[in-house]
Chain A
Amino acid sequence: GENVEQHPSTLSVQEGDSAVIKCTYSDSASNYFPWYKQELGKRPQLIIDIRSNVGEKKDQRIAVTLNKTAKHFSLHITETQPEDSAVYFCAASPSNFGNEKLTFGTGTRLTIIP
């Protein structure tokens, strides 16, 4: 089955700096890669996703890149703000429709230092 590894497990950055979280996956059949943000005590929320026919996707300060050959994808947050502090999870799925099971990474706790 699919295996997703996520690094780092914790990350602290100064407010205004950039943060990068990296994930690798094992199953070449995976073609849908969402990122979820979970604030303390709240539900995981989808913040951005990418499909295998796209190499990069950007939404304001958040971007995701995908390298299918190397089987890795990354989340980039620029101009970080205190409200970016949360646990971030990457995931992979074999479905283009996001309607099949997700295999998650172990999460990255991001702390933004004011």
Chain B
Amino acid sequence: EAGVTQFPSHSVIEKGQTVTLRCDPISGHDNLYWYRRVMGKEIKFLLHFVKESKQDESGMPNNRFLAERTGGTYSTLKVQPAELEDSGVYFCASSPLGRQYGYTFGSGTRLTVV
């Protein structure tokens, strides 16, 4: 079974530019989550999709962040325009719906805004 895949693994962009992160969950996993870890701090929740619907987006920092999951398969997280404080590692995770399993995380995208 393929794991959760994230692209790109690293991204360095200038302040004010746009970046789009992509997550491919495990096939059949209806739950998809985005998390972020800023250097040395906790892994913080951003949002949760169930299929194509946003179940909880209470962790999204501001309206510069836009997440989509068209068709309920892969998801994208766009940051526009990027600010220095957006730097960190963005993790995606997926899990089956209605089953008592923990998440499977992707390897993350390390975003550096300079």
Measured CB to CB, the residues of A under 8 A from B are 4, 34, 36, 41-46, 49, 89, 91, 96-107
Contact = CB atoms under 8 A, between A and B. Distances in A.
B71 interface: no
11 contacts: A36-B105, A42-B107, A43-B4, A43-B105, A91-B43, A96-B100, A97-B100, A98-B95, A99-B31, A102-B43, A103-B45
Contacts of B98: 97, 99
Contacts of B45: 101-103
Please report whether the interface of chain A is mostly helix, strand, loop or mixed according to DSSP: loop
A36 B91 CA distance: 13
Contacts of B101: 98
Contacts of B43: 44, 89, 91, 102, 104, 107
Contacts of B97: 99
Q: Interface size for chain B: under 10, 10 to 19, 20 to 34, or 35 or more residues?
A: 20 to 34
A94 B50 CA distance: 17
| Shortest 9 CB-CB contacts between residues of A and residues of B | A46-B102, A104-B43, A101-B45, A43-B107, A43-B105, A106-B42, A104-B42, A44-B105, A98-B102
A79 to B, nearest CB: 24
B21 to A, nearest CB: 15
Interface in B1-43: 3-4, 31, 33, 35, 40-43
Contacts of A97: 98-100
B102 A101 contact: no
A96 B98 CA distance: 10
